């Protein structure tokens, strides 16, 4: 009697927990005390993007331990960025202790924005813009180098036009066409003849040129050439070209916080979204000294080698704050703030694989999974009801309880349901009925041997118990191994299969036995519909 009460309490507790997490998925407008958790759908069911990254530390001289730390740090920083980005239920995991990271972003509508956010190293630097003489010197040196070595750069031959070559970018009133090929000057002069401007169609060519080691070696020591940020209102507009002092006067390590702000100024420059930077105590002192020392000089603010703004320092800045203004969209400012606050990646990351799943494909997968589950359930119901009669109805009830149990546990544990997970649930239907088939066949054998209904039921359950436990435990061990060593879809299958096996054993051994005991103990039953 005491064992029956304990069993009854266990069944009641399991059913209540199952109802608490399962009902909100199928019944709307439940009372407020019900859970707000909902079962999450994976990438393959609701659409989205899957990105595989590789942490590239090949150019860094790191020990094995440092390489391991670089991957772990990159994973954490990318996780922080995505969490702030606002993607619902992202999945991030390292692939088999390698330097690769798998990212799944279900429901993502703008994968290009996410890729840009993830891939940024977020290196914030403050550098002085070179003065007119230094800039002119760099241009003349690079012009001379490209003129002498034009054969090595055949893609630049179209810029070797001496008829309108302008040699002095800072004295437009004294233009002078000279008999040499000002290749570099022509390259950084746009269609409107504006110097230090790069036409969009030449941008990729210019980027490759800046990465060329021979070309970089010709830039005078202590200086560098950099590209300005794009105009979000007109991405195909010309881009500013800067000559900078190579050494950074400040870096992002002094940054305490970055915030998104909206300017309400009277001029167009002061309106719209901008990035507010707050430095720590050491950074505030360094920034104050920097702005005091270089009054009337231009200070460029760079993020990942791109110049976002290069204002002229008009006076010493006494506060610990600076701002990055410009022609920003709210989304762009938000994304920049995310990467600045999340920190710099310890090594560059590159995208080696990208896959996008459309929401239509996801809906088709859900329909296919539901259809397969319904067909399986209907087939099981008909077989059990026809072959085992009333006892078969009890077994079908146990299967429904098991399905609800799987969904409830997945919801409770914040699990994500994927297509392989649905496959695991469908497999569980067959396994759940299999246990009941073993039990019912044992009961039939006992009834045929002339035992009473009560004796046949008790003996049937006890004799089948060992077989059921043996089959389910070995399958559970297999599921655990799959989860431990598998990735992505395999883990999803293993999770639902494991939960389904536990639920199946509970439903078949505990719940069905309790129902049979209730029917037998509460009536003097001489026959059993089985």
pLDDT in tens, 167-191: 455 554 444 444 445 889 999 998 8
Indicate whether 89 pLDDT > 70.
no
Q: Which residues pair with 259 in a beta bridge?
A: 276
Provide the pLDDT confidence category of residue 314 given band limits of 50, 70 and 90. Answer: confident
Q: What percent of the chain has pLDDT over 70?
A: 90
Residue with more model confidence, 101 or 358:
101
Contact between 171 and 133 (Cβ < 8 Å): no
pLDDT number for residue 179: 43
* Segments of the chain assigned to CATH 3.30.70.3400: 48-121+351-356
CA torsion sign, 340 to 341 to 346 to 351? Answer: negative
Q: In what order do the strands lie in the sheet with 349-357?
A: 91-94, 100-106, 48-55, 349-357
Residue corresponding to tokens 């003129």: 147
Contact between 49 and 437 (Cβ < 8 Å): no
Of 58-72, 87-101, 358-372, 472-486, the least confident = 358-372
Contact between 140 and 167 (Cβ < 8 Å): yes
Provide the pLDDT confidence category of residue 345 given band limits of 50, 70 and 90. Answer: confident
Class of domain 2-41+358-521: mainly alpha
The average pLDDT across 26-40 equals 79
* Segments of the chain assigned to CATH 1.20.1640.10: 2-41+358-521
Phi and psi (nearest 5°) for 57?
-105, 20
Q: What angle do CA 408, 411, 412 make, to 5 degrees?
A: 85
Burial class (CB in 10 A: 0-12, 13-18, 19+), 318: exposed
Contacts of 299 (CB under 8 A, 6+ apart): 126, 127, 128, 129, 249, 290, 291, 310, 311, 312, 313
* SS3 call for 124: strand
Contacts of 297 (CB under 8 A, 6+ apart): 128, 129, 131, 312, 313
Indicate whether 42 pLDDT > 80.
no
Of 85-94, 171-180, 475-484, the least confident = 171-180
Q: Which two tokens stand for residue 9?
A: 């309490």
Provide the CATH topology of domain 48-121+351-356.
Alpha-Beta Plaits (3.30.70)
pLDDT number for residue 177: 40
Q: What percent of the chain has pLDDT over 90?
A: 21
Indicate whether 293 pLDDT > 90.
yes
- Going by C-alpha positions, the residue among 146, 329, 333 that lies closest to residue 225 is 146
Per DSSP, the chain holds a count of helices (H) and strands (E) of 15, 16
Provide the pLDDT confidence category of residue 258 given band limits of 50, 70 and 90. Answer: confident
Contact between 145 and 201 (Cβ < 8 Å): no
**What is the Cα–Cα distance from 283 to 453, expressed in whole angstroms?**
84
Mean pLDDT over each residue of the chain, to the nearest integer:
83
């Amino acid at each position: 009697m005491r064992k029956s009460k304990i069993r009854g309490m266990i069944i009641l507790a399991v059913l209540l927990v199952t109802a608490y997490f399962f009902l909100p998925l199928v019944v709307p407008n439940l009372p407020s005390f019900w859970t707000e958790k909902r079962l999450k759908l994976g990438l393959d069911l609701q659409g989205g993007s899957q990105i595989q990254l590789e942490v590239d530390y090949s150019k860094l001289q790191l020990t094995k331990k440092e390489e391991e730390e670089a991957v772990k740090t990159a994973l954490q920083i990318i996780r922080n960025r995505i969490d702030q980005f606002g993607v619902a239920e992202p999945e991030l995991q390292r692939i088999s202790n390698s330097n690769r990271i798998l990212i799944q972003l279900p429901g993502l509508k703008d994968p290009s924005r996410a890729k840009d956010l993830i891939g940024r190293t977020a290196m914030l630097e403050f550098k002085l813009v070179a003065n007119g003489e230094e800039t002119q010197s760099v241009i003349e040196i690079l012009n001379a180098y490209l003129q002498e070595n034009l054969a090595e750069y055949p893609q630049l031959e179209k810029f070797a036009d001496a008829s309108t070559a302008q040699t002095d970018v800072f004295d437009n009133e004294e233009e002078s066409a000279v008999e040499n090929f000002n290749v570099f000057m022509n390259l950084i002069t746009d269609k409107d003849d504006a110097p230090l401007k790069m036409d969009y169609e030449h941008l990729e060519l210019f980027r490759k040129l800046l990465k060329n080691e021979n070309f970089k070696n010709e830039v005078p020591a202590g200086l560098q050439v950099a590209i300005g940020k794009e105009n979000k209102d007109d991405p195909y507009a010309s881009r500013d070209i800067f000559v900078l002092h190579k050494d950074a006067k400040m870096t992002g390590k002094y940054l305490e916080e970055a915030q998104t702000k909206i300017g309400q100024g009277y001029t167009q420059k002061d309106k719209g979204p901008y990035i507010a930077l707050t430095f720590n105590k050491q950074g505030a002192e360094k920034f104050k000294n920097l702005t005091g020392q270089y009054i009337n000089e231009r200070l460029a603010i760079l993020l990942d080698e791109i110049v976002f703004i290069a204002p002229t320092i008009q006076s010493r800045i006494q506060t610990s704050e600076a701002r990055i203004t410009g022609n920003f969209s709210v989304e762009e400012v938000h994304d920049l703030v995310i990467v600045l606050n999340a920190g710099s990646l310890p090594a560059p990351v590159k995208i080696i694989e990208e896959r996008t799943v459309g929401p239509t494909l996801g809906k088709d997968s859900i329909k296919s999974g539901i259809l397969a589950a319904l067909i399986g359930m209907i087939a099981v119901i008909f077989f059990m009801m026809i072959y085992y009669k009333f006892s078969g109805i009890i077994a079908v009830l146990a299967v429904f309880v098991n399905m609800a149990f799987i969904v409830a546990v997945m919801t409770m544990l914040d699990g994500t349901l994927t297509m392989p997970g649905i496959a695991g649930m469908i497999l569980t239907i067959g396994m759940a009925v299999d246990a009941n088939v073993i039990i019912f066949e044992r009961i039939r054998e006992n009834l045929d041997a002339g035992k009473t209904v009560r004796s046949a039921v008790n003996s049937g359950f006890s004799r089948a118990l060992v077989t059921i436990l043996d089959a389910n435990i070995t399958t559970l061990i297999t599921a655990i191994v799959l989860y431990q060593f598998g990735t992505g879809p395999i883990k999803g299958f293993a999770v639902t299969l494991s939960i389904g096996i536990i639920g199946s054993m509970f439903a078949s051994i505990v719940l069905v036995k309790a129902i049979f005991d209730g029917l037998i103990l509460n009536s003097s039953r001489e026959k059993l519909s089985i």
